[in-house]
A and B are shown apart, each in its own frame.
Chain A
Amino acid sequence: MSATSVREAIRSALAEEMERDESVFCYGEDVGDYGGLYQVTAGLQERFGRERVFDTPLSETMLGGSAVGAALTGTRPVVEIMYGDFLTIVADHLVNYAAKMYFNYGDETSVPLVVRTAYGAGDQLGLHHSQMPISWFQNVPGLTVVAPSTPREYKGLLKSAIRSDDPVIFLEHKLHYDESGEVPEGEYTVPLRRSDVKREGSDVTVVAVGRMVDVALEAAEALAGEGVDCEVIDPRTLVPLDAEPILRSIRKTHALTVVHEEPTFGGYGGEIAAIAAKRAIYHLDGPVTRVGAPFTPVPFSKALEDAYLPDAEDVASAVREALGG
């Protein structure tokens, strides 16, 4: 084990997979020569050459279409979309083509592409460069959407995503890149579609997504001082969702709070709340509470952005509400 940043964890996942499988290649805007806007792919072009790590013009439409085409030829493209906000431009290729070809042809056609993208607020990048795009894609059968929360999982889940035969949107929080944590030495993967209990507890189940996992864990520590024992669950793969650990937890705690970064209305947490209402209603001892952003674009101003983003106190309040305090 060694302390590794998320940036390094992603880079080593890309390098290891390119080393392991020559059909894997990376491209996107500023991915090659510049090493990526967030320097995730720094050094990869020198190491693997311009054939496998290269820059493209500013055209997400082309990035999406070429990735689908490349995947259909049997390669495993890893495309970087600079900001998750721009996924709307690639959406046609992802939603109408990549996600549907397996179903459309019925002949085991697969589209093994990965779209990596930086998402999330907190850097005062404003309304066009700060969004959490999960809700735009959670309703697309055939897409896998992954949002890790630790360096170990960034690496292990990206390796699994690259090996997956289904198209994967891999969400990287821009505030995570500099975060460090223990990453195992040597080869390992983290499986897709497995929710993870990040903290065991007995009083309330808190399901948190992406960077909100850290926020939820911070809230859990604060609540522990009040005698409230939170169980924090990280779905990691958001679509398709591994719901059973969440339901198991609710059957134990009888209370549920969901936390995500995008606006609450139409947000990912609504699906978890609905699943809980359907499959664990008789275990719920209070309302399911949701923590998310207000229904407004991400503000530029630091003060407003701080107010916009859910923080540990927001989570703690929602937990208290779920518990009836």
Chain B
Amino acid sequence: MEVLRLPKGGQAMDEGTVVEWHADVGERVAAGDRVVSVETEKTVRELPATADGVLRSIDVREGETVPVGTVLGRIGEPDEAGAAERGESTAVEGETAQAVDDEAATADGETGTDADDGATTADGEFATADDGSETRTVRATPTARRRAREFGVTVAAVAAAVGTVSVTPSDVERYATEKGSTDAGESVLAGCESAASSAPTGTDITQPRGATVLGTPRARVVANEAGVDVVTVGDALGVDRVRERHVRSYLDRGDVIDLFEDADLERPEPERSESADSEPDRPGPARLSGAREPPAVASEGALDGVRAVMFERMASTSKYADTTTVSRVDVTALTSLYERLATSWDGPASLTAFVVRAAALALSDYEVLNASVDESGTLTVYEDVNVGFAVNTDRGLLVPTISQADARTVRETSAEIDRLASDARAGSIEHEDLQHGTFTVSNAGSLGAYLNTPRINPPQTAILGVCTVFEQPAVVDGEVVPREMMHLCLTYDHRVIEGAEAVGFLQSVTERLEAPESLLS
């Protein structure tokens, strides 16, 4: 059954007059057909039928003036129960209905045709029971509406089924139980009930314990900066309240935890360090709740010896504008030459010596790389070319100096490298041999490094990194042939050396190494 009400046409409109009915009771109408003309605020409006059907009743006769919201007439099917109960004959019936509806309209002050839609949502302030009693406003308590939402039913449906216009929570529950509510509704309800019943008196409900992982604001900030999610952290560490330390712990461990989880392996329990000078335990749920332990400490202590020097010297380069440029050198000719010389020379032959020689010669054209810089911004360019070269020893990395490298032949340099390296490894190197370097060559290639960007040895301004020799197909005279290749990485302080200078120097070294005979002169 659809009802036709006098709609509200404007702010000031509060009543209207029926001018003319365009259908008689019992006459069939189609949705959209004009059914009745009403005059409001001196304009005549046509009200259309809201559904296909038969005009069941005319509740307000032509010429009558009624308030906004008043039911003017009804459209339905001839056999509808409501209509049957109401009887067919109109005038008295209509007046009764009008009186009832006027009351309803006055009570809610806002009722219009829209509100008559039986599909009014459960959230709506008013719902209409679209049954035989029809058009009476259904009221529901806030709790009843919440329960209806939880069950996935409408209060209108509850009202219609229970036969009330004032829906209570127990009406909703009775209706939903009898109806056999939806699975979703049940699960929501079950969740509510278990949460309520499991919360003992005094439980802080703002910090619910459960499967949900929550992070503190600080933990979220740290996690966000690191690009991880607190839920991921919580899941990985087995905690549901994630703090900053959990995020840091997770980040420190990296992917190890996930690997174990994925492989479904037994997780090894790290040994706890019993060292007396280890960090005292901080109180924290990670320990107390049996969460995974931080990594066991094998040893701890201040850096000493060569590492202490390295720590200090490398830290002092933090102000350097380190920049690295790389070249690829075809060393096929060089290695061939080197092998020949190694067998023919009486003394030692060193591939590094060729690089030192090439660098020493190139430095004469690029003086600013043979220099030092201090914090005040003073650049000292050296006339002597003293090339340091890195030597791995038991005591750490040492950098002996080949003094006046530009004045030494490859053979002499090879001998000097041999002497200095032997002394360095034996621990008998003289202090003076470690001083006065103006440029450094570092050969990580001897250890197999494919690309190794070295760090400048302060206060110098540049360092040349020599990488490993490897075979690669290359194009020579239009043919693809195997060639021996090597990378050179030049790290320079861009505060004092221009990029063009650095690249120019590196190209100069590269060209000399690719024409190795020139280095023997």
Instruction: Tell me whether A254 and B244 are in contact (CB under 8 A).
Output: yes
A285 neighbours in B (Cβ, 8 Å): 216-219, 243-245
Contacts of A320 in B (CB 8 A): 283
Decide yes or no whether B520 CB sits under 8 A from chain A.
no
Q: Kindly supply a per-residue 1/0 record for chain B positions 467-487, scoring 1 wherever the CB is within 8 Å of any chain A CB and 0 otherwise.
A: 000000000000000000000
Residues of A within 8 A of B284 (CB): 323-325
B139 at the interface (CB under 8 A from A): no
Within 8 A of B (CB), among A269-325: 281-287, 320, 323-325
Q: B274 contacts the other chain (Cβ, under 8 Å)?
A: no
How far, in whole Å, are A286 and B220 apart by their CA atoms in the complex? Answer: 11
Residue interface mask A209-251, B partner, CB < 8 A = 1: 0000000000000000011100000000000000000000000
A203 on the interface (CB 8 Å rule)? yes
Among residues of A, the one whose C-beta sits closest to the C-beta of B241 is A324
B221 at the interface (CB under 8 A from A): yes
Whether the pair B282, A228 counts as a contact (CB closer than 8 A) is yes
Per-residue CB proximity of B200-235 to A under 8 Å, as 1/0? 000000010000000011111100000000000000
- Asked whether B285 is an interface residue with its Cβ less than 8 Å from the other chain, the reply is yes
The answer for the CA separation of A323 and B245 in the assembled complex, in Å, is 10
- Cβ of B280 and Cβ of A283 under 8 Å apart? no
Docked complex Cα distance between A228 and B279 (Å): 11
- A129 CB to closest chain B CB (Å) equals 33
Residues of the A chain whose Cβ atoms lie less than 8 Å from the Cβ of B245: 285
Kindly state whether residue B266 has any CB partner on chain A within 8 Å. Answer: no
* Residue numbers in B under 8 Å from A228 (CB-CB): 282-283
Task: Give chain B nearest CB distance to A4 CB in angstroms.
Answer: 37
Structural contact, B216 and A284, CB atoms closer than 8 A? yes
Q: A285-B216, A286-B216, A324-B285 are in contact. List 15 more A-B contacts (CB 8 A).
A: A226-B280, A227-B280, A227-B281, A227-B282, A228-B283, A254-B244, A283-B217, A283-B218, A284-B218, A286-B218, A323-B283, A323-B284, A324-B241, A324-B283, A325-B288
Contact A284 B217 (CB under 8 A): yes
Whether B280 and A324, one on each chain, are in contact in the complex, defined by CB atoms closer than 8 angstroms, is no
Complex-state Cα separation, A287 to B218, whole angstroms: 11
* Chain B CB within 10 Å, residue with most, of A286, A323, A324: A324
Q: How far is the CB of A68 from chain B (nearest CB, A)?
A: 45
By CB atoms of chain A within 10 A, which of B218, B219, B243, B280 has the most? B218
Q: Interface residues, chain A, CB within 8 Å of chain B? A: 203, 226-228, 254, 281-287, 320, 323-325
Do the beta carbons of B280 and A282 come within 8 Å of each other? no
Given the complex, which residues of B lie within 8 Å of A287, measured CB to CB?
Answer: 207
CB within 8 A of B283: which of A254, A281, A283, A325? Answer: A325
Interface residues in B235-290 (C-beta closer than 8 Å to A): 241, 243-245, 279-285, 288
A285 to chain B, nearest CB (A): 4
Q: What's the nearest-Cβ distance from chain B to residue A244, in Å?
A: 19
Q: How many residues of B contact A (CB 8 A)?
A: 19
Q: Which residues of B contact A324 (CB under 8 A)?
A: 241, 243, 283-285
B285 touches A325 (CB 8 A): yes
What chain A residues lie within 8 Å of B243 (beta carbons)? 285-286, 324
7 nearest A-B pairs in the assembled complex, by CB-CB distance: A325-B283, A227-B280, A285-B218, A285-B244, A285-B216, A282-B221, A254-B218
* 10 A-B interface contacts by CB (under 8 A): A226-B283, A227-B279, A227-B280, A227-B281, A227-B282, A228-B282, A284-B217, A285-B217, A286-B218, A325-B284
Q: Determine the chain A residues whose CB is within 8 A of the CB of B282 once the complex forms.
A: 203, 227-228, 323, 325
Specify which chain A residues have a CB less than 8 angstroms from the CB of B219 in the assembled complex: 285
Q: How far is the CA of A320 from the CA of B282 in the complex (A)?
A: 9
A320 nearest in chain B by CB position: B283
CB distance from A222 to the nearest CB of B (A): 13
Q: Which residues of B contact A282 (CB under 8 A)?
A: 217-218, 220-221
Which single residue of chain B is at the shortest CB-CB distance from A281?
Answer: B217
In the assembled complex, the Cα of A305 lies from the Cα of B164 at a distance in Å of: 59
User: Which A residues touch B220, using CB under 8 A?
Assistant: 282
A281–B220 alpha-carbon span in the complex (Å): 11
Max chain A C-beta neighbours (<10 A), residue from B216, B241, B243, B288: B216
**Complex Cα–Cα for A203 and B283 (A):** 11
CB neighbours (8 Å) of A254 from chain B are 218, 244
Q: Which of B316-352 contact A (CB under 8 A)?
A: none
B288: A residues at CB distance < 8 A:
325
Contacts of A284 in B (CB 8 A): 216-218
Residues from chain A with a CB closer than 8 A to the CB of B216 are 284-286
Residues of A near B221 (CB, < 8 A) are 282-283
Bound-state CA distance A254–B241 (Å) is: 16
The smallest beta-carbon distance between B208 and chain A, in angstroms, is 14
Complex Cα–Cα for A226 and B280 (A):
7
Please give me the residue from chain B that is nearest to A285 by CB atom: B218
Residue of A227, A228, A254, A281 with most chain B CB atoms under a 10 A cut-off: A254
Q: Closest Cβ of chain A: how far from B239's Cβ, in Å?
A: 10
Residue on B with the closest CB to A255?
B218
With CB as the reference atom, state the residue of chain A lying closest to B222.
Answer: A285
Cα A227 to Cα B287 with chains together (Å): 14
Please give, as numbers and ranges, the residues of chain B lying within 8 Å of A227 by CB-CB distance.
Answer: 279-282
Highest count of chain A CB atoms <10 Å: which of B220, B221, B279:
B221
B331 CB to closest chain A CB, in angstroms? 54
Give the most central of B283, B285, B288: most A CB within 10 Å: B283
Q: How far is the CA of A203 from the CA of B284 in the complex (A)?
A: 12
Tell me which residues across on chain B come within 8 A of A283, comparing CB atoms.
217-218, 221
A26, B221: Cα distance in complex, Å:
54
Chain B residues whose CB sits within 8 angstroms of the CB of A323 once the complex forms = 282-284
Q: With A and B bound together, what is the CA distance between A325 and B289 in angstroms?
A: 10
User: Which residues on the B side are within 8 Å of A281 (C-beta)?
Assistant: 217
